[in-house]
Amino acid sequence: MKSFKFFWTTHKWTGIILSSIFAVTSVTGFMLLLKKRVAWIQPPTMQGEAGGIESFITNQKLFMIVLSLDHPEFQSLEDIDRVDFRPNKRIFKVRSKTFYEIQVDAVTGDVLNVSYRRSDFIETLHDGSFFAQWFHDWVMPVAACGLLFLLSSGLYLWLEPKLRRRRRKRGAATT
């Protein structure tokens, strides 16, 4: 009975303490599952002009195009977080560190879309890095272990009374 009370109490308080983290992770995870279907979360990938590898613009030209737009989030190379290239769609997606994206046609160099990527912001909430890097590195792994503990202790709390009743019935039947 002591182990049951211990698991009951720790299960309850672990759940209470970690519930806000689980709620944020759950909601943001659901939104990330929908990101390709909902343009508000992540802008759809445009389609570039037809052309072979020999007609693709160079990285130098790509960066000149992006920086010449005079967009407040793309003032220098330091503002660029990454470049995502989609050869089948002939598109470069240039992403800023502040979650903006510029889609450039890989053949013509035309700017096809400038948008805010909420999916990247939602991802930082989901993995905890929005709050601080230490939160991502230390709190989120503890929360994952807490979830595993809640799963196992919940299973124990559900199963233990059933086993106890079965033992009682067997004991009563043998006497």
Span 121-164, pLDDT tens digits: 999 999 999 999 999 999 999 999 999 999 999 999 999 999 98
Rg for the chain, CA atoms, rounded: 26
124 by Cβ neighbours in 10 Å (0-12 / 13-18 / 19+) ranks as middle
pTM of structure? 0.80
Span 19-78, pLDDT tens digits: 999 999 999 999 999 999 999 999 999 999 999 899 999 999 999 999 999 999 999 999
52-84 as b/e, with b when 16 or more CB fall inside 10 Å?
eeeebbeeeebbebbbeeeeebbeeeebbeeee
